[in-house]
């Protein structure tokens, strides 16, 4: 389970790195899709038996998602509004 959690954190790191580079919609969409598929795999996990290390990584993942949301969501909204105004 720890490796799975670390993989999720790695995807978030790649998303964060992409955010600091020139925006490429296809790369962002690919990373987002990968993250979405990755997170869906957790729905069947029994969360009552997490070790302290797993809990720490989960906490880090939640923090990183919240941090990315504050950075990326305004950009996504801007791009969406720009796209809507063209149509």
Q: How far apart are CA 46 and CA 17, in angstroms?
A: 31
Looking at residue 56, what is its pLDDT?
Answer: 92
Could you tell me what percent of the chain has a pLDDT over 90?
5
| Residues recorded for the chain | 87
Q: How far apart are CA 35 and CA 30, in angstroms?
A: 9
Is the pTM above the cut of 0.75? no
Please answer whether residues 57 and 2 qualify as being in contact, where contact means their C-beta atoms are separated by less than 8 angstroms: yes
User: What is the residue-wise DSSP string for 11-67?
Assistant: HHHHHHHHHTS---HHHHHHHHHHHHHHHHGGGG--GGG--HHHHHHHHHHHHHHHH
Residue 54's pLDDT band, with cuts at 50, 70 and 90, is: confident
Give the residue extent of every domain in the chain. Answer: 2-86
């Amino acid at each position: 389970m720890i490796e799975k959690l670390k993989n999720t954190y790695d995807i978030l790191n790649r998303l964060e790195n992409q955010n600091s580079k020139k925006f490429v919609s296809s790369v962002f969409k690919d990373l987002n899709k990968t993250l979405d598929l990755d997170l869906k795999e957790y729905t069947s996990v029994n969360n009552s038996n997490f070790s302290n290390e797993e809990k720490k990584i989960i906490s880090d993942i939640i923090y990183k998602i919240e941090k990315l949301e504050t950075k990326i969501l305004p950009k996504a909204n801007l791009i969406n509004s720009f796209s809507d105004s063209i149509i």
